[in-house]
Structure 1
Amino acid sequence: MPERVQCEFFLIRYVPDVVKGEFTNIGVVLREANASSSRDANAVVRFTRDWSRVRCMDADADLGLLESLEGEIAERLRLGAADTKEVLPLLEDTLSNSVQISEARASLAENMAAELEQLMRMYVEPLKVKQERKKTGRAAIAGAMRSQFERAGVWGLMRKRIAASLYTRPGDPMKIDCGYRVDGGAANASGVIRLFQAVSLEGDVEAAKGLAWSAPQLREGVERVESARLELTAVVEPLRSISDAEDEAMERYRFGVEAMEREAIRVVTLNDLARAAETARLELRV
């Protein structure tokens, strides 16, 4: 039996009303307890994918902001060795009172990934009902995209729900699901911003048309703001997932793909996500 690693974990809690003190757990930070220094400590963080509890407690909760905290915490954990202050007290000092961190609790882990999954099931994720409604359309694509990037270990390093208005114009309501920057080398001195958007072509193709319409403005804005080239990727269902549908649905699917490709949007299916995630892993040096 492999020797277990002594760890400690902290629960990340959302507290919409600090006076009432009611909260729901939204994530877990797990780290080795007996590392000789913060430089040697292995630490991981995971947030929930199911925000139903948060929405029940606070219908106006900023879920985009809460999701972005996962990446911020992961980055600070990764860079914590270079800071003279301990990572978790730093987070407690900087996060607002609506997001709190519990006291440390001990655990013994065979490996960090498996222990993190177990802690998420025990303390964070809601109980699954037997007849849970299966996600479809854009929600299913976005969930699969997140799963692949998590499996590759890069989700915490990516930007999420990126406001298109940063690159287009104020008032633009579009949010891009996720993305990351690749600093330029000799062959690409200016760098590349890779953005990924889940687009369902099962029903109508308005989302595909909207992304295609926005692409030139996004491309110009990324070059102006980031001094980088934009590579925009749309993730769609495989064509065979609607192969039993009527001819009209097939025509809409092809129309949506062609509309995006005309604006130099790279279109990939769910079957290509693993390759995209592996590319991100290599480019982000995970």
Structure 2
Amino acid sequence: MARIACKFAVIQYMPDVIKQELINVGVVMHCPEQGILKARFLKQLQKITKIFTSVNINEYRNFKNIFNRHLKISSKELIDSKLNVPTSLIEYLDSFSEIELPKFIIKKPQPMLTENPLQKLDDLFNLYVFEEDRIDKREQPFVNTVWEKFKGAGLEKFIKKEIELPDFPITIDYGYQNGQLNLIQPIKFTDQFKDNFKEGLMWKDAIEIKNRSESYKDSPFYAVVKPPANPQKVGFSLALDQFRDYEGVEIVKYGTRQFNEFLDHIKEHGHELH
């Protein structure tokens, strides 16, 4: 089998600009002859959860969303030899760098030859990022835990994923329709007072932006929250106070009767996705 000329680049994230620590979070590959332009990312940052705050995780999720959207839009042009457009990964990444994402760095692309580009992408990911089989499967991000509850209640056909608010850089995880869009955001609080306070402020900003949006100002906002082990000590109530009193906001505590009633409400009043 003939070997194919490709280029790849490692994608890095700097969660703290003061510490200047770079973490490999993904790999992007471009093989013009085969029309391949693919990226692979850490899915949920399981490998490095202990050093990430919820703000970092949201930054990372937002970057993945932007990058993948950009990739989808650009890939058709990049692999179409009839168009007068860039066909090298270097030119492509130069174009992508115009997007302002200062905490994310795409290293200089490297050439390579391979018989199987998609397998090579996996190999490079395992080499530069990590091998996902090593993840402790007993723990999963709270947003996934909530999704499993949706699935268990038979709500997949009602739930929309990854809802983007205009002018806000973080996607809302879930939503459902019942004549209007209802927004659902799982929020897991930590054992750090400072992180929880910042989390509350971030969602306060999100709700204020939502309320200024013509498309979303009337959309109810459900915060599905998982309290920390010691709520009083780490400012759980204070964090919620940042945004709980806004009109249209409802706090739903995970693992309670209230949460189960919320699932029943979606099943009874939600509209199926089309």
TM superposition score normalised by structure 2: 0.49
